[in-house]
Amino acid sequence: MPVFLNTKDADFDASFTAFLSNKRETTVEVDDTVAAIITDVRTRGDAAVIDLTAKFDHFALTAETLAFTPAEIDVAIAEVPIKEAEALQLSADRIRAYHEKQLPENAWWQDATGAQLGWRWSAVEAAGLYVPGGLASYPSSVLMNAIPAKVAGVDRLSICAPTPNGQYNPLVLLAARLAGVETVFRIGGAQAIAAMAYGTETIPKVDTITGPGNAYVAAAKRRVYGTVGIDMIAGPSEILVIADKDNNPDWIALDMLSQAEHDENAQAILITDDADFSDKVIAAIKKQLETLERREIAAKSWQKYGAVIIVDDLEEAAQLSDRIAPEHLELCVADAENYAKKTRHAGAIFIGAWTPEAIGDYIGGPNHVLPTARSARFSSGLSVLDFMKRTTLAKMTPNALAAIGPAAETLANSESLQAHGLSVRARLDKLNEGNNG
């Protein structure tokens, strides 16, 4: 059943610490399976991907049919209702506009010695984007992954989206087209991550892999990191709602269930300073679970991982929030904008009762690929920067080298790295001869 905590209880700190340590991520059994899959794909290439797709997705492919053809994409896009196509276009426009503002600036300056220093940003050459597939797929994830990559300037983008039993969502292919991605492979799972990381005869190797997925996808991304870059190891979704009594309990219940319905391992937490209000939210959750389409999944999530925490005041709530470091943080409190400044650790913050987390999943503009499992303490959501890298630049003049070179030589010698010191000394000696060439 859900966890109920109150900061007034004598054992609260111990209970809260135990609550935070409750794991919802990858098991050893999953990791072992994933290791075998990666080895198989590295060894047999296309043949392994095709066999694993038949085994797990029950769909027969050949090397020629691993990717959708442009004609197949055209046919699928034609099936999308106009209303949905327009909504997806609006989403794409807003996501693009938001991420364009994230583009970093290059820098180049001269310091007091005359040395010129700076940095330059450039995009990776190729990126692989993972999108959960099938009929229950997420076209919004296509936009959230592909648009930042395009804005960053990535040359080559490809998507892997599983098609279990051959089923796919036409909206996923429309989203790919709107984002400017032409290559969509109909494969998923750990085998897709391995194929993108190491390459096969048909699937080209990429430089970085982004996108959410199940436990097998997360375990595969962890294993291929270092061979390629990744955005993060994302676990089950989570939401923390901090709410005072002046809220609609039905709204808060729906906000919590919006994450619980993702996955039975998802987590929804309410922190409030009013016990009566918490009772109303709990009652509203029970009522919604009677009719919600994904009620079985949401009910399991709520029963296994849900939590309600009663605090003395909302200042205390902000402190607890930072310890939780949630993926999604909703602030349904008075003066929510100023309250947001009191919280440090969160993947995304939704400010005020009129800003449901669901807006962030689709149409707000910020990215919905976010750090989970308390990793918001040290990481950020997906952005343009995940598809870029920074190269530092330095140019010495003879005078600059004369000014700082001796210190470099001293430090090199102190570390017993003789060639380092000599490489500087050779130039300093040239300067001492009066030859700046």
DSSP 113-157: TS-EEEEEEEE-SEEEEE---STT--HHHHHHHHHHHHHHT-SEE
Which H or E element spans position 69?
Answer: none
The residue count of the chain comes to 437
* Torsion over CA: 328, 332, 336, 342 (sign): negative
Mean pLDDT of 62-70: 97
Which residues, including other chains, have CB under 8 Å from residue 429's CB and lie 6 or more apart? none
pTM of the model: 0.93
Q: How far is CA 183 from CA 72, 310, 325, 339, in A?
A: 11, 50, 36, 44
Which of these, 130, 221, 214, 220, lies nearest to 172 by C-alpha position? 130
Residue written as token pair 């984007």: 129
pLDDT tens, position by position, 394-413? 999 999 999 999 999 999 99
In the predicted structure, residue 294 carries a pLDDT above the cut 80: yes
Residue written as token pair 């051959």: 166
Q: What does the domain layout of the chain look like in residue ranges?
A: 3-25+235-364, 28-77+124-233, 396-432
Which of these, 175, 137, 132, 184, lies nearest to 157 by C-alpha position? 184
Output Rg (C-alpha) for the chain, integer angstroms.
26
Which residues, including other chains, have CB under 8 Å from residue 197's CB and lie 6 or more apart? 38, 128, 205, 206, 209, 224, 227, 228
Residue 139 and residue 184: Cα distance in Å, rounded?
13
Query: Which pLDDT belongs to residue 213?
Result: 86
Mean pLDDT of 96-109: 98
Residue 374 and residue 325: Cα distance in Å, rounded?
5
- Strand partners for 228: 225
Q: Are 301 and 269 in contact (CB under 8 A)?
A: no
Which of these, 196, 264, 256, 244, lies nearest to 41 by C-alpha position? 196
Residue 236 and residue 270: Cα distance in Å, rounded?
17
Record the tokens describing residue 317, joined without a space: 């709530």
Mean pLDDT of 175-200: 97
Record the tokens describing residue 148, joined without a space: 């930042």
pLDDT tens, position by position, 301-334? 999 999 999 999 999 999 999 999 999 999 999 9
Catalytic residues: 327-328
Which of these, 265, 234, 238, 268, lies nearest to 253 by C-alpha position? 268
Mean pLDDT estimate for the chain: 95
In the predicted structure, residue 101 carries a pLDDT above the cut 60: yes
In the predicted structure, residue 437 carries a pLDDT above the cut 60: no
Record the tokens describing residue 416, joined without a space: 């017993």
Q: Are 94 and 364 in contact (CB under 8 A)?
A: yes
Residue 255 and residue 356: Cα distance in Å, rounded?
6
Which of these, 295, 269, 243, 326, lies nearest to 4 by C-alpha position? 269
Please report, as a single letter, which amino acid is at residue 27.
T
Give the architecture-level CATH label for domain 28-77+124-233: 3-Layer(aba) Sandwich (3.40)
Which of these, 389, 408, 423, lies nearest to 115 by C-alpha position? 408
Which H or E element spans position 381?
Answer: none
Q: To the nearest 10°, the Cα dihedral for 362, 363, 367, 370? A: -40
Reading phi first (left if > 0) and then psi (alpha if -120 to 50, else beta), residue 277 is in: alpha
Give the architecture-level CATH label for domain 3-25+235-364: 3-Layer(aba) Sandwich (3.40)
Q: What percent of the chain has pLDDT over 90?
A: 92
Residue 328 and residue 2: Cα distance in Å, rounded?
19
Is residue 136 very low, low, confident or very high in pLDDT (cuts 50, 70, 90)? low
Domains 3-25+235-364 and 28-77+124-233 alike in fold: yes
Is residue 436 very low, low, confident or very high in pLDDT (cuts 50, 70, 90)? low
Mean pLDDT of 233-259: 95
Q: Are 232 and 145 in contact (CB under 8 A)?
A: no
